[in-house]
């Protein structure tokens, strides 16, 4: 299908009606109406459609109970619904089966799980882990903790001025000492989508497993973990229009099977005695304690929601917004966009000459425009581009060209304010 046809079919106004929060205004004061909310911070966390909110409410009102441990009716009902979402997530990522899907609290916890369970078991002093310059702190700090404990070595793949990953440097970093590669599939600052399939292929030629941080990537396009041949793939529900408190770890079953538990507790054991405890097979082995049951139901509804809209249609809509917004922003004097890789996701980070991002954020907020300012949990990257903090506008499936215009207008106001 061509973009034009997809875009015609995509009725963003209709979509917006699904998101109750988008109807609100902000900064209303006694007697004075507020400004309509222009939410351009979905990269930090996406808003939730009524379908997700209602699915969670319905579950709590009708079917809620603890799972995996009751013989009673509700426990069985809740368990069935919970496990059905595991199967849905497997389909969503095109994982071979639902045993490869582990529920965690977040992307952060999923990466910590791999660093802790896989890393502490299979990595030793002098072994190398390859990361990239554009990682979120969630995919840096767990490896540094491991570095402190096991004396592993961290290698970092750089990127070029556009924010494209330097694949020659990556090839050169891969060596006999490399024991794991952990790289983002889409940068939360630059929007760069990395060539996951090639990254995995090159690592696999040396027998090295690869983890992808898909926190941003699953939101903006279709991900096929088997096609990429990812060994581990993580994402977080709240950026995918689902609830907070829930993440997903996909792992190849052969790897998961070799890995010891991450946390101990109920639900992950076969039998417990003080002489010795035996653990369940994955994914249960990694899901100690009561999981975020209602949130899992919410994620199921979120996946249904984006699939009903069509992931290609969403991607086409967001691509249109990205191009439009980039074009409009580029016309502002003194505005520098950081991250111009071809095929990037709908994330635009920029600096405005003469005005600190913090001041930009405060002023555009008064116009109802919600953006993120700062270093976006990716400090090494800010150093790389020598920009310090930036302003980030990130677009989601509900944003419109008019909202991009509102951003541009509010930035004009910033410039007037500062005479920049």
How many angstroms separate the Cα of 318 from the Cα of each of 59, 325, 395? 31, 10, 7
Site for ligand PLP in 184-203 (CB under 6 A): 184, 188
Give the other-Cβ count within 10 Å of 80's Cβ: 11
Pick the catalytic residue: 100, 159, 186, 377?
377
Contacts of 30 (CB under 8 A, 6+ apart): none
Q: Does 392 bind ligand PLP (CB under 6 A)?
A: no
Among another protein, ligand PLP, none, partner that 184 touches (CB below 5 to 8 angstroms by kind): ligand PLP
Q: Cα separation of 244 and 238, whole Å?
A: 5
Q: Nearest approach, Cβ of 394 to ligand PLP (angstroms)?
A: 9
Least distance from another protein to the Cβ atom of residue 389, Å: 5
**How many other β-carbons are positioned within 10 Å of the β-carbon of residue 230?**
26
Confirm or reject binding of residue 216 to ligand PLP (CB under 6 A).
Answer: yes
DSSP letter, residue 168:
H
Each residue 74-113 as x (binds ligand PLP by CB under 6 A) or -, in order, gives --------------------------------xxx-----
- Pick one of another protein, ligand PLP, none as the site partner of residue 415 (Cβ within 5 to 8 A by kind): none
374 binds, among ligand PLP, another protein, none (CB under 5 to 8 A by kind): another protein
Is 100 assigned a catalytic role?
Answer: no
- Which residue from 140, 134, 132, 144 is spatially nearest to 170, judged by alpha carbons? 132
Judged by CB, which is closer to another protein: 303, or 373? 373
Contact (Cβ atoms closer than 8 angstroms) between residue 187 and residue 214: no
Q: Please answer whether residues 282 and 251 qualify as being in contact, where contact means their C-beta atoms are separated by less than 8 angstroms.
A: yes
Residues that bind another protein (CB under 8 A): 27, 29, 32, 34-35, 355-359, 362-363, 366, 373-375, 379, 382, 388-389, 417-419
Residue found under tokens 């997700």 = 52
Of 297 and 377, CB closest to ligand PLP: 377
Which one-letter DSSP state was computed for residue 186? B
362 binds, among ligand PLP, another protein, none (CB under 5 to 8 A by kind): another protein
Enclosing H/E stretch for 107: helix 107-113
Residues annotated as catalytic (active site), given as ranges:
377
């Amino acid at each position: 299908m061509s973009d034009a046809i997809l875009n015609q079919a995509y009725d963003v106004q209709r979509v917006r009606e699904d998101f109750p929060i988008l109807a609100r205004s902000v900064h209303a004061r006694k007697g004075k109406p507020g400004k309509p909310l222009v939410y351009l911070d979905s990269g930090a966390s996406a808003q939730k459609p009524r379908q997700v909110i209602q699915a969670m409410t319905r579950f709590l009102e009708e079917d809620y109970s603890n799972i995996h441990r009751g013989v009673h009716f509700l426990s069985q009902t809740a368990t069935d619904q919970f496990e059905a979402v595991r199967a849905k997530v497997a389909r969503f990522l095109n994982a071979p089966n639902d045993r490869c899907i582990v529920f965690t609290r977040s992307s952060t916890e999923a990466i910590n799980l791999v660093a802790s369970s896989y890393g502490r078991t299979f990595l030793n002093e002098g072994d190398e882990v390859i990361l990239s310059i554009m990682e979120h702190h969630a995919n840096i700090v767990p490896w540094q903790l491991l570095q402190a404990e096991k004396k592993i070595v961290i290698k970092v793949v750089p990127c070029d001025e556009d924010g494209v990953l330097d694949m020659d440097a990556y090839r050169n970093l891969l060596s006999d000492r490399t024991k794991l590669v952990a790289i983002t599939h889409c940068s939360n600052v630059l929007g760069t989508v990395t060539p996951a399939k090639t990254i995995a292929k090159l690592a696999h030629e040396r027998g090295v497993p690869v983890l992808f941080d898909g926190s941003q990537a699953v939101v903006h396009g279709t991900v096929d973990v088997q096609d990429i041949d990812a060994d581990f793939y993580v994402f977080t529900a709240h950026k995918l229009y689902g609830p907070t408190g829930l993440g997903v770890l996909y792992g190849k079953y052969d790897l998961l099977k070799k890995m010891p538990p991450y946390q101990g507790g109920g639900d992950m054991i076969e039998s417990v005695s003080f002489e010795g405890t035996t653990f369940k097979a994955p994914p249960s082995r990694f899901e100690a304690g009561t999981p975020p049951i209602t949130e899992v139901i919410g994620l199921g509804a979120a996946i249904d929601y984006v699939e009903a809209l069509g992931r290609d249609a969403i991607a086409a809509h967001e691509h249109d917004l990205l191009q439009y917004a980039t074009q409009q922003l580029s016309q502002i004097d003194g505005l520098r966009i950081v991250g111009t890789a071809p095929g990037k996701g709908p994330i635009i980070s920029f600096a405005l000459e003469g005005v600190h991002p913090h001041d930009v954020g405060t002023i555009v907020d008064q116009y109802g425009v919600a953006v993120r300012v700062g270093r976006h949990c990716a400090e090494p990257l800010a150093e790389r581009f020598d920009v310090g903090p930036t302003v980030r506008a990130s677009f989601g499936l509900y944003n419109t060209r008019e909202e991009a215009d509102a951003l541009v207008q509010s930035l004009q106001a910033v410039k007037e304010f500062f005479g920049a």
